[in-house]
Amino acid sequence: MTVPAAPGRWSVYATQSGGSISWGDTFEVAGSTEVDIRLADRIAARDDAARRDRERRRADSIAEVRRRRRADSIARARRADSIAEAERGRTSSAARRIVFSETGDRFSGERIWDESDNAACERLYSGGRYILRSKAEGSFCASYLTSLGDVSGPVRIEAVTHLASGPTNQQLGIIFGHQGNSYFVAGMSGNGSFKLARRNADGSWTDVLTWQGADAAHSGRGVDNHHAVEIRGRRIDYFLNGSFVNAFEAGRSLEGGVGLYNNGNLMEVRYDDFKISNIEADDRATRMRRTFYSPSGETFEGERFWSTTWSGSAASNCSSEYTAGGFVMRSRTEGRACLTWLSRLGSLSGPLTIKGTVSLRNGPLNRHYGIRVAISDGDYIVAGINGNGSVRLARWTGSQWVYPTDWERNSAVRTGLNARNELEVRIDGRRMTFYVNGTQVQTATIDRDLVGGIGLYVGSQMEVLYDNLRVTKR
C-alpha cells in the first residue's frame, strides 16, 4: 500500500488503535512520510478472508438446498412406487374377491339371466339392462341366477334398480338365501320405503322387517337406486345408495341362490350392475356397523320407529308419543300393562347388548317398567326396576308370570319420580345379565335361547319416559 509522503490530513481505509480497526477514519501525517505498511497488509488480508468465508458459506448453503431437494425427490418417488404397489395389490385383491360381475353394454354380456315370457311375467334384455315386467295383477316377477349355484357369506350382493312403470307401493330388490321354495327379499318401493321379506316354503310371506322410511332412497319412477346386501353368517346388513339402512339376524343359514325380484301388479323394473363379491368377515366397517339401532335427534329416535298407535283392547289402555325428552309410554287402566316392539329389528340373537335410559314420570312406585326381550310369540322377559329401588327379571310365558329372579333392593337404582336410570341387558345364549347405572344387579339362565325381538314394557297406570336406546351386537 502506498500512502502520501507530504504532511497533512488524509483519509485512509482504516486506522488501528490497540487491537481494533475502525474503517473510514482519518489520520494525520505530521512530518511523517510513511504509514505502517504492515497495518495495511493486515487489513487487506482480513478483508480477503472475510470475502472467501462468505463465498464458502454461500456455496455450502446452495449445496445443502440441492441435496435436500434430491432427497425429497427420491422420497416422493419411493412413496409413489409404494402407493402404486399397494394399489396394484388392492386391485388384485379386489379382483380376486369378485365372484360375479355384469360386463358389457348389455346388463349381462353372457345373457345368463332367464329370458322367458308367460302370462304373469316377461323377462328380457333391452336397452342395456335386464327387465322384469309384470303382466298381471296379484302376481310377482322373479329371476334366479341359477348358473352361479349357492352363495355363502361373508359376501356382498348388489344391483341397481329402476322402476320404469307401475305402482310405487310395491317391493323391488334382491333375492338371497334361496333354499327350495323359500328365500329372502331385501328391497324398497317407489315411494322411498324399504322392508325385508321372507317367502316361506308353503308360499306364504312374512315381513321380517316391516315397511320403514329410508332417507337414502330415491323416490318415484324413472330413477336409479343402488341396493347392497352384506351377509355374514346369519346376519344381514342392507345398504341403499351407499348408506347403511338396517340390519337383521336371520333364524336360519343364508346360504343359497340369489336373484332379482319385483312384486308384480303390472310393475316394470329394470336392473343393472349386478355384482357379487366376497368380503372380509370382520373388517373395520363391519365393526362400526355392529350397532343395530341407535337413536338420533332430540326425539329419542329421529326416524320414529316406535309405534304410537295401538290396536285391539290396547287402544283404550295405552298411549305413546314422541316428546322433546324422549319416547313416552302410558298405561291408563288398572291391571293392564303396555308394551311395544322395535319391529324394524326383527328377531335378534346374542351376544347382544341393549341399553336405554328410563324415568318414571307418574304412577305407583312399586310396579315394574323396563326393557323386554322376546323368546317366542307371547313369551318374553322384562328386565325391570321400580320407583322404590328394586330390580327384577320377570318372564311372561303367554299365560302367567314366572320370575327367574324376584324383587331385590339395590342401591344402584335411583328412586322416586323423574329419577333417570340407565338400564343395560346383555344376552349370551340362554343367559341374561342385568345392569343398572353400570352396576350388575341380577343374572339368570333360562330353559330356551334368548332369540327374539326387543321392546319396552310399562306396568299398569304408569307413565315412563325412554331415551338413548341402543342395541349392539358384541
CB 329 within 8 A of CB 463: yes
Pick from 40-54, 160-174, 228-242, 355-369: least confident: 40-54
Instruction: Tell me phi and psi for residue 281, to 5 degrees.
Output: -70, -25
DSSP 446-468: -SS---B-EEEEE-TT-EEEEEE
pLDDT for position 441: 95
Residues 235/247, Cβ–Cβ less than 8 Å: yes
20 pLDDT more than 50: no
* Average pLDDT score over the chain: 76
Confidence class for position 356, pLDDT limits 50, 70, 90: confident
CATH code for 291-473? Answer: 2.60.120.560
Fold of 116-288: Jelly Rolls (2.60.120)
pLDDT of residue 217 exceeding 80, the answer is yes
CA dist list (Å): 402 to 325, 399, 439: 33, 10, 24
Residue with cell 366397517: 285
d(CA 184, CA 307): 25
Banded model confidence at residue 101, pLDDT cuts 50, 70, 90: low
Least confident of 180-184, 282-286, 442-446: 282-286
Q: Would you say residue 311 has pLDDT above 60?
A: no
- DSSP β-ladder status, 369-376 and 352-362: unpaired
| Residue 67 predicted with pLDDT over 90 | no
Cα 166 from Cα 139, distance rounded (Å)? 13
Judge whether residue 23 has pLDDT over 60. Answer: no
Beta bridge partners of 358: 421, 466
pLDDT reported for residue 225 = 92
Question: What are the phi and psi torsion angles at 447 (to 5°)?
Answer: -90, 0
Q: What pLDDT is recorded for position 421?
A: 94
- Alpha-carbon gap, residue 332 to 319, rounded angstroms: 8
Q: Determine the average pLDDT of the residues in 87-94.
A: 45
> What is residue 318's predicted lDDT score, i.e. its pLDDT?
83
Give me 80's grid cell.
Answer: 409413489
pLDDT the model gives residue 36: 56
